[in-house]
Amino acid sequence: MADEKENNGEKKYKYSIIIPTYNERLNIAIIVYLIFKHLRDVDFEIVVVDDGSPDGTQEIVMQLQKLYGEDRILLRARAKKLGLGTAYIHGLKYASGDFVVIMDADLSHHPKYLPSFIKKQLETNASIVTGTRYVKGGGVHGWNLMRKLTSRGANVLAQTFLWPGVSDLTGSFR
């Protein structure tokens, strides 16, 4: 992990944002733009882990590297689709930040919430800050009924059997 920097007596941290992709050619430029827009005063890098997307996602990421810099956008491609969990693990190997953010490329996790995540983490010294769909102001956009029911059902089961003390165990916006 990178060393924290001093900024007018305050600690300034670096954040590594891991974004797994598979066929996200249409979304990746939008989400990268929104991250840069909402984190103007934050030191961060974006680690894109692409699982061999046949739609040209990697080529778009390479164009973004030319625009924003290869030090800010890291493409860590894999040969084929290996799954979301292993994509996060792969991305962690290349993360150089003091803290890690994981989020989806499908725009279900809006980057406008990243500043509030960072603020909450700094205020509370929390190890983990997570977004949830199941509180006032939370929710999802673009999901069909089956996906919503599956997510809700998985969370009800987890709450019933595990009692984890969090409202959304199936989300991956942390």
By CB atoms closer than 10 A (0-12, 13-18, 19+), residue 41 is exposed
134 has a pLDDT exceeding 60: no
CA distance 2 to 94: 12
The mean pLDDT of the chain is: 82
pLDDT tens column, 145-169? 776 666 666 656 666 666 656 555 4
Average pLDDT rounded to a whole number, residues 122-129: 83
Q: Would you state the pLDDT for residue 150?
A: 67
Q: Would you state the pLDDT for residue 128?
A: 78
Q: Would you state the pLDDT for residue 158?
A: 64
Tokens of 12: 């300034």
Neighbours of 24 (CB within 10 A): 23
Q: Would you state the pLDDT for residue 98?
A: 93
Domain boundaries, the chain: 15-124, 134-168
* pTM score of the predicted model: 0.76
CATH annotation of 15-124:
3.90.550.10
Select the highest-mean-pLDDT range: 48-52, 102-106, 120-124, 147-151: 48-52
